């Protein structure tokens, strides 16, 4: 186990900056998830920590010791890859003990460790099989067993669940979280799936365009996005983003003739008097279609659709379509009014995309 630090890490491939000035410290035993869209640099960062990709500038430190010049095999890291990386010519048992044998660990020690991981991962039935005989989910379990068998300084996971069936993925995700807490091993996990990030992470590192956008605990990531990208990337369905135009008596929703008022929508004073143009971010769970003809505002409803138990609706402001939760009683027949819940309001600077609050407006 170790504390992993990145100091001003930059990685370039030719003219392309894959990772741009990233700094972060992962505490001993912490579970950190790198989250972001494809090509944002999260996997490259992980591979650099592993030693499979070299840093163009900046440092990688394990427990304060610079490891830039150590090869992957010298760093005592363990890694699980996105696609199957088991050795196809070796039986499961041989796959699992490979890292120990490669390092020349004594036979008795190997046997003891093997017993332990077999127990932890319940692999008893599969030890004599070849990887090809196992379903993808079970293979990743073996890859995980192979990773943890030798007490690595850090466990690196590169989208380990993305090639697994939906159903088994849930199970594996739960097991993985459980296992990490049990072993207490420092873990860095890369994914583009926000649900995985939200459910597993102690802290989420959100990346976009080769840079870190935000680092925070999962809850804050949802409630306190630092900018429009963070707000829209986290949460499903995605956050609605609406242009605001200051008019007398409130803020007009851009492209419509509907105005939000300080009274009904409890708009904060600073937002009304803001010198810079603002955008309103409001998540679908905070936009309700209600029966009460006095509540909310009138906006054209586009469509109503059910996702499991919940009913969503889409509505138009100008040309853009937004989403909310349909809270009308079924069969009420009313067209409904759109009610914006001010508790869920997030204001962003329309130019920079940064989140703004009362303190910024001054």
Partner 1 sequence: MASSQTTTTEDRAAGHARRQAELRKRSSGRLMIFGFLSPSLAILLFMVAYPIFSLIYYSFYNFSALRQTTMKPVGLSNYTFLLSDPELWQRFVFTGKFVFICVTLQMLIGIFVGYQLQKNFRGRDIIFTLLMMPMMLSPVVVGFLWRYMLNSEWGIVNYLLSSVGLPKVDWLGQTNAALWAAAAADTWMWTPFIVLLATAAFRGIPETIYEAAEVDGASPAYRFFRITLPMSAPVLFIALILRLIDSFKQYDLFVALTGGGPGSSTETVSYAVAKTAFSYFYTGEASALAVILLLIITGLSMILVRHLTKMGEKY
State the first-to-last Cα distance of the chain, in angstroms, to the nearest integer: 46
Based on CB atoms, which residue is closest to partner 1, 25 or 73?
73
Give me the least distance between CB of 28 and partner 1, in Å please: 20
Taking only Cα atoms into account, the Rg of the chain, rounded to an integer number of angstroms, comes to: 25
Based on CB atoms, which residue is closest to partner 1, 156 or 201?
156
Give me the least distance between CB of 50 and partner 1, in Å please: 6
Based on CB atoms, which residue is closest to partner 1, 90 or 179?
90
Closest C-alpha among 60, 70, 356 to residue 231: 356
Based on CB atoms, which residue is closest to partner 1, 50 or 60?
50
Helical (H) or strand (E) element with 316? strand 310-317
Based on CB atoms, which residue is closest to partner 1, 46 or 242?
46
Based on CB atoms, which residue is closest to partner 1, 144 or 230?
144
Give CA–CA dist 282/342, Å, rounded: 9
CA-to-CA dists, residue 134 to 56, 125, 137, 246, 261, angstroms:
39, 11, 8, 61, 60
Give me the least distance between CB of 13 and partner 1, in Å please: 16
Instruction: Decide if 276 contacts 349 (C-beta within 8 A).
Output: yes
Number of C-beta neighbours around residue 74 at 10 A: 10
Give CA–CA dist 191/68, Å, rounded: 24
In the three-class reduction of DSSP (H, G, I as helix; E, B as strand; rest coil), residue 37 is classed as coil
- The helices-and-strands tally (H runs, E runs) of the chain is 10, 20
Give the residues lining the site for partner 1 (CB under 8 A): 50-52, 71-74, 76-79, 81, 83-90, 98-99, 102-103, 130, 132, 143, 146, 150
Mark residue 123 as left, alpha or beta (left: phi above 0; alpha: psi -120 to 50; beta: remaining): alpha
Give me the least distance between CB of 76 and partner 1, in Å please: 8
Instruction: Decide if 78 contacts 152 (C-beta within 8 A).
Output: yes
Based on CB atoms, which residue is closest to partner 1, 79 or 239?
79
Give me the least distance between CB of 110 and partner 1, in Å please: 13
């Amino acid at each position: 186990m170790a504390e992993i630090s990145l100091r001003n890490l930059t990685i370039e491939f030719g003219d392309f900056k894959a990772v741009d000035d990233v700094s972060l410290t992962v505490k001993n035993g912490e579970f950190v998830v790198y989250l972001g869209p494809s090509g944002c640099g999260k996997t490259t960062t992980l591979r650099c920590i592993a030693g499979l990709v070299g840093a163009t500038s900046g440092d990688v430190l394990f427990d304060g010791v610079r490891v830039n010049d150590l090869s992957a095999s010298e760093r005592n890291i363990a890694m699980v890859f996105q696609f199957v990386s088991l050795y196809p010519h070796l039986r499961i048992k041989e796959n699992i003990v490979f890292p120990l044998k490669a390092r020349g660990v004594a036979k008795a020690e190997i046997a003891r460790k093997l017993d332990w991981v077999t127990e932890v991962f319940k692999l008893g039935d599969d030890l004599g099989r070849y990887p090809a005989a196992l379903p993808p989910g079970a293979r990743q379990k073996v890859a995980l067993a192979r990773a943890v068998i030798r007490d690595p300084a850090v466990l690196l996971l590169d989208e380990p669940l993305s090639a697994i069936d939906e159903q088994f993925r849930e199970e594996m995700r739960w097991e993985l979280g459980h296992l990490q807490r049990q072993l207490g091993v420092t873990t860095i996990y890369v994914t583009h799936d926000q649900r995985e990030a939200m459910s597993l992470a102690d802290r989420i590192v959100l990346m976009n365009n080769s840079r870190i956008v935000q680092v925070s605990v999962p809850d804050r990531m949802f409630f306190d996005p630092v900018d429009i990208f963070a707000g829209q990337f986290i949460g499903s369905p995605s956050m609605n983003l609406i242009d605001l135009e200051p008019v007398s008596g409130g803020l007009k929703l851009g492209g419509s003739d509907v105005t939000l008022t300080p009274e009904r929508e409890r708009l904060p004073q600073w937002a009304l008097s803001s010198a810079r143009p603002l955008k309103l971010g409001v998540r679908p769970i905070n936009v309700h279609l209600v029966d009460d003809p006095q509540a909310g505002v009138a906006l054209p409803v586009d469509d109503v659709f059910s996702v499991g138990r919940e009913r969503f609706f889409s509505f138009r402001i100008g040309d853009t379509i937004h989403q909310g939760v349909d809270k009308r009683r079924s069969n009420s027949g009313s067209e409904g009014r759109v009610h914006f819940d001010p508790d869920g309001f997030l204001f962003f600077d329309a130019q920079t995309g940064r989140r703004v609050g009362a303190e910024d407006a001054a």
